[in-house]
Amino acid sequence: MIKKTFYITTPIYYPSDKLHIGHSYTTVAADAMARFKRQTGYDVHFLTGTDEHGQKIERRAQELGQEPQVFVDGIVSWIKKLWELLDISYDDFIRTTEERHKVAVQKIFQKFYEQGDIYKSKYEGWYCTPCEAFWTERQLEEGNCPDCNRPVELVAEESYFFKMSKYVDRLVDYIEKNPDFIQPASRKNEMINNFIKPGLEDLCVSRTTFRWGIPVPFDPEHVIYVWLDALTNYITALGYASSDEQQLQRYWPADVQLIGKEIVRFHTIYWPIFLMALGLDLPDKVFGHGWLLLDDGKMSKSKGNVVDPEILVERYGSDAIRYFLLREISFGADGHFSEEALVHRLNFDLANDLGNLLNRTMAMLNKYFSGRVPSPGESAPLDDELKEMASTMPAKIEALMDQLQFSSALAELWKFIARANKYIDETAPWALAKNEQQSRLQSVMYNLVESIRIVSVVLLPFMPRTPQRIWSQLGIAEQTNLHTWDSIGTFGGLPADVQTLPGEMLFPRLELSGEGGAPVRQATKKDKLTPKVKDVQKVQSEGLLSIEEFARVDLRVAQIKTAEAIAGADKLLKLMVDVGGQERQVVAGIANHYSPAELVGKHILFVANLKPAKLRGIRSDGMLLAASDDEGNLVLATTEAPIKTGSSVK
Ligand code: MSP
């Protein structure tokens, strides 16, 4: 069967500085959508990347006394790490400084020129370097850039121009006939009324007063305007104008292009016109989401820790941050970000609603059934409402996701969580146990565990880590057939007799520390649920592991990519290892036994789900296994024969 394809893109980010949490918003949303489509059976291609040319980057590099390429390389690797921290599952990451892109952009420019869409003239007008945008006198607002409010510069230089006028009628026609093309609808009206109706000017598409860009192939004094260069990434990444256009055939036109509202103009006027000039179809949907704002205004990196995504992830975990971004703000509208609001959401939705459902269910299951899921017994009308909601909820979520309504989709899921919590109160399992209504108690407990499984599956695209933790507790971590969208189609997919294993609280409540108002995680006695299963107690008292406990250790094959000494730490080495395509940094105490050079390339055994720690201030995310004897010898545990990295070890 041929799978339906789904191509989704984010804007490509300027690597002019580290990104803030507002930037992460677009990418987290795109990732949730990509994961959702994969989960529901699509052949997904998810593209993100970096927009590395232009005057803004050149100036920033100059300020720092660096070559632009060296400067962007540093920020780009930081961005890639950030996406890893936030579990962004992109299929391709395009950098506009890559050869595959540069060559294709030159071909595109040449084609435009040859077909008479581009002509040479002189540009005299205003330029906003932070936005890399040209403005006419009339468009300025109090002499400043109407988008970012910053000062503009007067530019007068020879340039190539693109004849927008040639295509504008076709564009208007397309927008009118395809009401879903520009979303939300308010942005469509803004484009037509503010930019198209007053008369669309030809666009200046080359610059001569700086060098950091792709040269015009037939006139190398000119570099190609950074927006023409950048917009085409969505097709150059698919191989447009290369010797292999298979991906282009397969995925173009894009199903959804996600962008922030200030760049809607570039994506719904210039981009479709470029595509028309290339004879390519237009994307199905361009969605301009709102901004994440701080209480005192626009977000910027200079606002410090509170907007630093790395710090926020370290403090709260990536799933919590993802949840907040997707749930708090209605996609399309502006929203506010503050740590107080974040903590509030985490406490109410994650610790209370979701956490309590799991904890209460697990505690009762332990008490009444030694943690083993009973088969359903006697049913009652109360069950029907829960089951009915469980079976209709996934379709509702699918419809909301198709409209990119992430917050409403999560609200729908939380209605079901609330229903399940209410079901506990209504059925009062403790009373059933007391009255020895065993058969009824079996049904109630089964229905609750099955409801939690359904919740975990729906949660996966939004919070990719939490379901794994739930599945470990439910004892179904290895049963991947119970993790699929199809498996929640009918209530009752969970087999009876599964042995559950309570673990750590998913989301302990957070409190404000009072010190500078920064919220911190307060450990409580309840943080750990003590397993009450007799069998578990028995194996623990004998010092043995149950198979379920062992299964919680995620052992993988990894390959050492780089190794380096750590200044001031004789025994430690800093390693980068590849685990199934994911790069992990680990600090290992093996410097007395291996030199960095002999480690590179080795296939080792690696604990992939160890809580990250800091050693000498350096983050270590995982652990490699080594054998040591009492004479101080140490050897790494390696695989007996080559096998793919990421392979699981059991
Ligand atoms: N390089 C251009 C895009 C080229 S696409 C062909 C660019 N880069 S950017 O790094 O400045 O912004 C990337 C994205 O982050 C944009 O969609 C922008 O709207 C988004 N955001 C930047 N700040 C934001 C918030 N505070 N809130 C939400 N999104 C924000 O523009």
Cα of 407 to ligand 1 centre, how many Å? 20
Element containing residue 579 per DSSP (H, E): strand 569-579
Cα of 501 to ligand 1 centre, how many Å? 43
> Which residue's CA lies nearest to atom 28 of ligand 1?
291
> Which residue's CA lies nearest to atom 7 of ligand 1?
13
Mutual angle of helices 318-328 and 406-427, in 10-degree steps: 100
Write down the pLDDT at residue 617. 84
Rounded-to-integer distance, Cα 379 and Cα 255, Å: 44
Write down the pLDDT at residue 642. 77
Q: Ligand 1 pocket check: which of 18, 26, 298 to mutate, most ligand atoms within 8 Å of Cβ?
A: 26
> Which residue's CA lies nearest to atom 6 of ligand 1?
231
> Which residue's CA lies nearest to atom 17 of ligand 1?
260
Among candidates 340, 350, 517, 323, which has minimal Cα distance to 417? 350
Which tens digits make up the pLDDT trace of 53-111? Answer: 999 999 999 999 999 999 999 999 999 999 999 999 999 999 999 999 999 999 999 99
Write down the pLDDT at residue 421. 97
Rounded-to-integer distance, Cα 358 and Cα 449, Å: 8
Rounded-to-integer distance, Cα 31 and Cα 89, Å: 6
Cα of 280 to ligand 1 centre, how many Å? 25
If one counts every other C-beta atom within 10 angstroms of the C-beta of residue 314, the result is 14
Among candidates 618, 554, 598, which has minimal Cα distance to 580? 554
Cα 431 from chain centroid? 44
Q: Ligand 1 pocket check: which of 263, 306, 324 to mutate, most ligand atoms within 8 Å of Cβ?
A: 263
Write down the pLDDT at residue 507. 93
Site of tokens 């209709």: 392
Q: Which atom of ligand 1 is nearest to the CA of 292?
A: 27
| Long-range Cβ contact pairs of 514-517 (< 8 A, separation 24 or more) | 517/339, 517/340
Site of tokens 């199905």: 284
> Which residue's CA lies nearest to atom 21 of ligand 1?
23
Rounded-to-integer distance, Cα 118 and Cα 108, Å: 11
What are the CA-CA distances from residue 304 to residues 20, 60, 301, 310, 354 (Å)?
A: 9, 19, 6, 11, 31
Rounded-to-integer distance, Cα 575 and Cα 596, Å: 9
Write down the pLDDT at residue 270. 97
> Which residue's CA lies nearest to atom 15 of ligand 1?
23
Write down the pLDDT at residue 299. 84
Among candidates 303, 296, 343, which has minimal Cα distance to 21? 303
Which tens digits make up the pLDDT trace of 258-295? Answer: 999 999 999 999 999 999 999 999 999 999 999 999 98
Cα of 554 to ligand 1 centre, how many Å? 36
Cβ(321)–Cβ(313) below 8 Å? yes
Write down the pLDDT at residue 550. 78
Q: What is the mean pLDDT of each run of 10 residues along the chain (650 residues)?
A: 90 95 96 98 98 96 96 97 98 98 98 98 92 89 90 93 96 95 92 90 94 97 97 98 98 98 96 98 97 86 79 95 96 92 95 96 97 97 97 97 97 98 97 97 98 98 98 97 97 96 90 52 38 36 63 87 89 91 90 89 91 85 89 87 85
Cβ(213)–Cβ(52) below 8 Å? no
Rounded-to-integer distance, Cα 29 and Cα 331, Å: 9
Positive or negative torsion for Cα 184, 185, 188, 193:
negative
For 239-282, give the DSSP string: TTTSS--HHHHHHPSPSEEEEEGGGHHIIIIIHHHHHHHHT-PP
Rounded-to-integer distance, Cα 248 and Cα 253, Å: 8
For 311-360, give the DSSP string: HHHHHH-HHHHHHHHHHHS-BTB-EE--HHHHHHHIIIIIIIIIIHHHHH
The residues, ordered by sequence, that sit 6+ positions from 301 with a Cβ below 8 Å of its Cβ are 17, 18, 19, 20, 307, 308
Write down the pLDDT at residue 4. 96
Residue type present at position 527: D
Cβ(527)–Cβ(355) below 8 Å? no
Element containing residue 113 per DSSP (H, E): helix 99-114
Write down the pLDDT at residue 502. 85
Residue type present at position 23: H
If one counts every other C-beta atom within 10 angstroms of the C-beta of residue 230, the result is 27
User: The pTM is what?
Assistant: 0.80
What the chain holds in terms of domains, given with CATH numbers, is 338-488 (1.10.730.10), 510-542 (no CATH), 547-636 (2.40.50.140)
- Residue ranges around ligand 1 (CB below 6 Å): 11-14, 22-23, 25-26, 51, 230-231, 233, 259-260, 262-263, 291-292, 299
Alpha helix locations (H) across 460-509?
Answer: 466-474
Site of tokens 């609750």: 448
Q: Ligand 1 pocket check: which of 9, 13, 302 to mutate, most ligand atoms within 8 Å of Cβ?
A: 13
Which tens digits make up the pLDDT trace of 446-497? Answer: 999 999 999 999 999 999 999 999 999 999 999 999 999 999 999 999 999 9
The residues, ordered by sequence, that sit 6+ positions from 424 with a Cβ below 8 Å of its Cβ are 357, 360, 361, 448
Q: Which two tokens stand for residue 467?
A: 């379901």
Cα of 259 to ligand 1 centre, how many Å? 7
Among candidates 182, 177, 378, which has minimal Cα distance to 263? 182
Rounded-to-integer distance, Cα 563 and Cα 587, Å: 10
Rounded-to-integer distance, Cα 606 and Cα 610, Å: 10
Q: Which atom of ligand 1 is nearest to the CA of 51?
A: 1
Cα 244 from chain centroid? 28
Cα of 13 to ligand 1 centre, how many Å? 6
